[in-house]
A and B are shown apart, each in its own frame.
Chain A
Amino acid sequence: MSSLRETKFQRILNTLEKNSVPLLFGVIVIFGIPLSGYSLNYLGQEIVVRIARNSFLIIALLVPIMAGMGLNFGMTLGAMAGQIGLIFIADWKIIGIPGMVLAMIISTPLSILLGWLCGKILNMAKGREMVTSYIIGFFINGVYQLIVLYGMGSVIPIKNSSLVLPRGYGIRNTVNLIKIRKVFDNLIVIKLFGISFPIATFLLIAALCLFIIWFRKTKLGQDMRAVGQDMEVARAAGIKVEHTRILSVIISTVLAGYGMIVYLQNIGTLNTYNSHMQIGMFSIAALLVGGATVNKANIGNVFLGVTLFHLMFIVSPTAGKNLIGEAQLGEYFRVFVSYGVITLALVLYEIRKRRDADRSGRLLAQNQMDQREILE
């Protein structure tokens, strides 16, 4: 028996370690739920709502991961495009489903432009995609503010004065989206076990999942996966690497734009200058909690992640209050956990990446020794 072979124990440890983030979160949640005192029914309803609200955005993150671009912090660009679409339909007073669809249509060319820009910049910073996309998000936020806080109402005509700040130009901090609030969610509703399920939204998300699954099998999808595996090998195989990478970012940005509209449609109010910045962090944290890594993510991660992350999010303040007597503590706890999980996932990914190279080398060596044994 060679010492190189992996023991069963080692293999179990390896699996545990691979899924450490979701497991850790599972533990937090299991402790947190009874501490918070919320009923399972209440939590169930909340989770259903949040899955319907957030999944679209998180699924948008899958495409760049496939293409090896890592976590797309630039999804905030798509969110901004979606928001600009919503500002326009709120101004033009287009309501209901037509309003939502029109907002999506308006956001698309904007998302494509921003996605293309982002992709081009990321191609100039190969190897540092994640930090760069993170900073791009901040940078474009500045441009967004230029447009929305200064351009709208002055250079860009806004008819509806209730959207505009008292000084005469610039959109207010909150835009009331009550006319499209939950239009999609409430389209088809099924009530089960006392929980209402927004079926239309779920169908939309299911359609998106099918799209992703189909996309993976298309030539473009295969190209992206090849680029994600190894850029140089893909290039040698004749794939237009830079072009493919930019496309992956564009698709992600466009989907993020739609996802933001779905998200805001549920909330009903647009926090003009804040929502888009936080949504990126949320979605990425949720995806990581679901067990995704920087270079591998699937649809299962998305749904597991939303559930666990948002459960933690909901129970923390009350659990903190019941445990230590301070709700504020619970709130800071969930902020810490949100950032902590990204840190942990990133660190684990890096360490594992280096260790996996080590491990596969070992397994290869073990294999070779086995072969030699058989021959002897």
Chain B
Amino acid sequence: MRCPLISKTTLLKIGLIILIIVIGIWMFLIGKMHTVLLDNKTIEVEGISYVQLPIVEVQIDNKEKIELAARDRDLVEVTAQRHKITVYYTDKLFNEHKIVKKFKIPLGYDMVLISIPALIGETDVSDWLSEYIPPTAVVAPQAETETVDELGIDFSF
């Protein structure tokens, strides 16, 4: 293979760098952690009120089922963007329902909030899934845990 402008090795090096960048982006995508808040509170969407349920069971992907009472909120940590949510509930006529929905968390969202009543009420995805930005007070500063310094030398120079 004759490449008069760029040598074979340079081509190989460029190819390698591109490959590594691609792997890096891939790692970013599959490794990004998102926090999903599950809300069982009455919520208003475009004037219609979706009432909270007395009790509902929610499952994200194939993780443990979470029980939410009225006005409850729980938290699940997931990795990557595409997930499925399964909701089990019993309506006023004692019929059991199971809803399965697939959703995608936008990459930029660190934390998202899913409103279960809105989801059950068959609203648009954009209505029951929203970005959640914690109020700064909520982010409690971690206690400065003093890890055991292996040699106990106070490095000061």
A→B interface (CB under 8 Å): 89, 92-99, 101-102, 105-106, 108, 138, 159, 161-162, 166, 172-174, 176, 179, 267, 269, 271, 273-274, 277-278, 281-282, 331, 334-335, 338
Contacts and interface: CB of A to CB of B under 8 A. Distances in A.
Contacts of B30: 98
B64 interface: no
B14 to A, nearest CB: 15
A316 B26 CA distance: 46
B142 to A, nearest CB: 6
Interface stretch (B48-56, B83-91, B143-151): B143-151
Contact of A95 (B33, B110, B139, B152): B33
Nearest to B154: A274
B91 to A, nearest CB: 37
A269 B152 contact: no
A-side interface mostly: helix
Interface in B116-157: 136, 139, 141-142, 144-147, 149-153, 155, 157
Given A99-B31, A172-B144, A278 B153 contact: yes
A138 B79 contact: no
Given A96-B79, A161-B139, A274-B149, A138 B27 contact: no
Given A92-B28, A94-B31, A98-B30, A162 B142 contact: yes
The size class of the interface chain B forms with chain A is 20 to 34
Contact of A278 (B28, B139, B141, B150): B150
A162 B28 contact: no
B70 interface: no
Interface in B11-38: 20, 23-24, 26-28, 30-34
B12 to A, nearest CB: 16
Contacts of B31: 89, 94-99, 101-102
B147 A271 contact: yes
A162 B146 CA distance: 16
A334 B136 CA distance: 45
B151 A338 contact: yes
29 contacts: A92-B32, A93-B110, A94-B27, A94-B33, A96-B31, A98-B26, A98-B30, A99-B27, A99-B31, A101-B27, A102-B28, A105-B27, A161-B139, A162-B139, A162-B142, A173-B144, A174-B147, A176-B142, A267-B147, A269-B145, A271-B149, A274-B149, A277-B155, A278-B149, A278-B150, A331-B152, A334-B151, A335-B152, A338-B151
